[in-house]
């Protein structure tokens, strides 16, 4: 795993980040690629590459002092270097996946066509088309058929009459399949966007709105007409719809179908490893919400075993996703079994990875990690550490998604401040949290009750506190099975916290006992 040291401004310079992401072998290959012509040995863009490679932080003034190029020319030189690095990476065997190979064959066939070598071009296109269809790359397969049509119209053969019919039919079928995939993938992406922005539905009106949108957007289909790719997006669309309406049993159903598509066609795992990883992530997520402990462990162990196998592909992108999904669910597993220990090295591993490679991970997922770590510290009674991690979320002014995550971070922050005895500015926190929830239009009954209780804490005598905790618990437990209020309990186990205060026991012990009864 490569260590990438950056400052807040580094991420703004794409060239610097790209160079720092290169492995030693990729850097060596780039220099060999540049040196393929004698004249490039001292080229300006190679000098710039070497300079940026040595820099621990991006500083344009240092580049200009080296007199490699004038300031007005630097932008063009950087763009040229960026392009050359990408060309070098494209030529690397490590990046030669099936999609690149098919594209390469199409490029070669186009060159042959432009030289008037029609027969040779057609042979390459036929080969590339079979590869594309076999590997479910139907968009490029359609492009290939369209080029075949162009060439066949110029290179007349005896079989032209039947050939034109064949190509027209192939184009029609591929066009229909691509259109179906496009509709299903668009629907899936729109639902995913809603999930990121607002989280689960919060009312009957929202549920009706989502359901109407889903029903109207779902294209008509026959299962027998769908290929691997279309079935994949179909299950994904149903999966996100199920998550949005909090139907976790349906989430499990469609996530299982999603993963089974790959298990039934193992070759597709290597060809589409990202989708395979995501499918397992969705399956684990649904099992976590269903509290199916044994099945969760089985799926996670199977996934880790698959990732360690020699036939599973490796790349920078996959490395990030592997870490994200495996370690996110390792945290979820601790919550499931009520294990709030923080001395097992798990937090340190996550922190180390985020420090080294966090800029390659989107901010939303980093914030989810912080919330889970904060929850772990809260369950372990380390409230100041909990507040520290929640602060990373609350003080993040650029976070524009998962409104529910931001809202519950503030609620947990209030409780953690109370638990830590840091109630001297609780009133200020209460006001800012209340304003934020109003602004987000996310003030529900559970949150109202929590804020009202915390606001009145100062007026409660110590001897009456336990009784007030019991009253609050009675008011809150009626919402535990409410379809729209229960999401509060998915983020923060408020009832277990109240039980711990009532029984004067660590919250971790309460949650562990519940987990042993609820988990299957």
Q: Write out pLDDT tens, residues 194-218.
A: 887 777 887 889 899 999 999 999 9
**Cα separation values, 440 from 19, 143, 197, Å:** 40, 46, 11
pLDDT at 329: 95
Residue 26: which pLDDT band, with cuts at 50, 70 and 90? Answer: confident
Asked whether residue 33 is domain-assigned, the answer is yes
The count of structural domains within the chain is 1
Asked whether residue 55 is domain-assigned, the answer is yes
Judged against a pLDDT cut of 90, whether residue 256 lies above it is answered with: yes
Name, in order, each residue with C-beta under 8 angstroms of 518's C-beta and a sequence gap of 6 or more. Answer: 291
Please tell me the distance from the alpha carbon of residue 41 to that of residue 455, in angstroms, as a whole number: 70
pLDDT digits (tens, 9 = 90+) for 37-68: 555 555 888 889 989 998 888 888 888 888 88
Residue 8: which pLDDT band, with cuts at 50, 70 and 90? Answer: very low
Range of lowest pLDDT (95-109, 115-129, 248-262, 413-427): 413-427
Asked whether residue 73 is domain-assigned, the answer is yes
pLDDT at 2: 44
Q: From the CB of residue 23, how many other CB atoms can be counted at a distance below 10 Å?
A: 13
Please tell me the distance from the alpha carbon of residue 225 to that of residue 222, in angstroms, as a whole number: 5
Residue 32: which pLDDT band, with cuts at 50, 70 and 90? Answer: confident
Enter the tokens of residue 113. 């066509």
Residue 430: which pLDDT band, with cuts at 50, 70 and 90? Answer: confident
CA angle 24, 26, 30 (to 5 degrees): 115
Asked whether residue 34 is domain-assigned, the answer is yes
Q: Is 520 exposed, middle or buried (0-12, 13-18, 19+ CB in 10 A)?
A: exposed
Asked whether residue 78 is domain-assigned, the answer is yes
Range of the domain at 91: 14-95
Enter the tokens of residue 424. 């001297």
Q: Average pLDDT in the 225-229 region?
A: 90
Please tell me the distance from the alpha carbon of residue 451 to that of residue 448, in angstroms, as a whole number: 5
Torsion over CA: 20, 26, 30, 35 (sign): positive
Name, in order, each residue with C-beta under 8 angstroms of 151's C-beta and a sequence gap of 6 or more. Answer: 113, 118, 121, 122, 125
Judged against a pLDDT cut of 90, whether residue 296 lies above it is answered with: yes
pTM of the model: 0.77
Asked whether residue 64 is domain-assigned, the answer is yes
Asked whether residue 128 is domain-assigned, the answer is no
Range of lowest pLDDT (232-246, 410-424, 445-459): 445-459
Q: Average pLDDT in the 231-237 region?
A: 95
Asked whether residue 40 is domain-assigned, the answer is yes
Judged against a pLDDT cut of 90, whether residue 130 lies above it is answered with: yes
pLDDT at 189: 92
Judged against a pLDDT cut of 70, whether residue 10 lies above it is answered with: no
Which residue reads 């929202």 in tokens? 206
């Amino acid at each position: 795993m490569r260590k990438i040291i950056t400052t807040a401004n580094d991420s703004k310079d794409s060239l610097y980040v790209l160079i720092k992401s290169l492995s030693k072998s990729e850097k060596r290959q780039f220099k060999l690629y540049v040196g393929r012509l004698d004249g490039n040995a001292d080229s300006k863009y190679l000098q710039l590459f070497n300079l940026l490679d040595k820099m621990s932080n991006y500083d344009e003034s240092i580049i200009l002092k080296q007199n490699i190029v004038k300031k007005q020319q630097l932008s063009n030189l950087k763009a040229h270097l960026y392009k050359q690095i990408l060309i070098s990476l494209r030529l690397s065997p490590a990046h030669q996946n099936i999609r690149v190979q098919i594209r390469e064959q199409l490029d070669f066939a186009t060159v042959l066509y432009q030289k008037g070598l029609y027969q040779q071009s057609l042979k390459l296109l036929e080969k590339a088309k079979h590869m594309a269809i076999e590997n479910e790359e139907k968009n490029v397969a359609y492009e290939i058929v369209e080029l075949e049509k162009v060439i066949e119209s110029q290179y007349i053969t005896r079989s032209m009459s039947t050939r034109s019919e064949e190509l027209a039919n192939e184009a029609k079928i591929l066009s229909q399949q691509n259109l179906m995939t496009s509709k299903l993938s668009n629907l899936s992406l729109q639902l995913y966007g809603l999930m990121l922005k607002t989280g689960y539905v919060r009312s009957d009106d929202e549920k009706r709105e989502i359901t109407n949108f889903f029903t109207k957007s779902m294209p008509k289909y026959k299962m027998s007409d769908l290929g691997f790719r279309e079935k994949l997006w179909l299950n994904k669309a149903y999966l996100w719809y199920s998550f949005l309406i909090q139907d976790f049993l349906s989430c499990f159903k469609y996530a299982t179908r999603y993963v089974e598509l790959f298990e039934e066609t193992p070759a597709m795992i290597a060809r589409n490893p990202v989708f395979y990883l995501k499918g397992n992530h969705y399956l684990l997520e649904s099992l976590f919400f269903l509290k199916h402990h044994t099945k969760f462990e089985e799926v996670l162990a199977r996934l880790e075993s698959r990732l360690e196998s020699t036939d599973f592909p490796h790349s920078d992108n996959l490395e990030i996703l592997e870490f994200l999904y495996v370690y996110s669910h390792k945290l979820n597993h601790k919550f499931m079994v009520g294990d709030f220990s923080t001395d097992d090295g798990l937090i340190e591993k996550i922190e180390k990875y985020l420090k080294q490679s966090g800029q390659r991970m989107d901010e939303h997922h980093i914030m989810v990690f912080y919330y889970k770590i904060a929850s772990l510290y809260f369950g372990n009674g380390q409230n100041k550490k909990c507040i520290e991690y929640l602060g990373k979320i609350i003080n993040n002014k650029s976070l524009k998604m998962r409104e529910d995550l931001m809202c519950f971070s503030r609620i947990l922050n209030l409780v953690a401040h109370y638990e830590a005895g840091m109630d001297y500015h609780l009133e200020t926190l209460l006001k800012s949290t209340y304003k934020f929830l109003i602004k987000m239009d996310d003030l529900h009954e559970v949150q109202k009750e929590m804020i009202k209780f915390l606001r009145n804490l100062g007026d409660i005598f110590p001897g009456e506190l336990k009784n007030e905790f019991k009253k609050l618990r009675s008011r809150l437990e009626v919402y535990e099975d409410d379809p729209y209020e229960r999401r509060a309990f998915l983020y923060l186990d408020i009832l277990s916290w109240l039980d711990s205060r009532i029984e004067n026991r660590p919250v971790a012990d309460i949650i562990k006992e519940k987990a042993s009864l609820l988990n299957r």
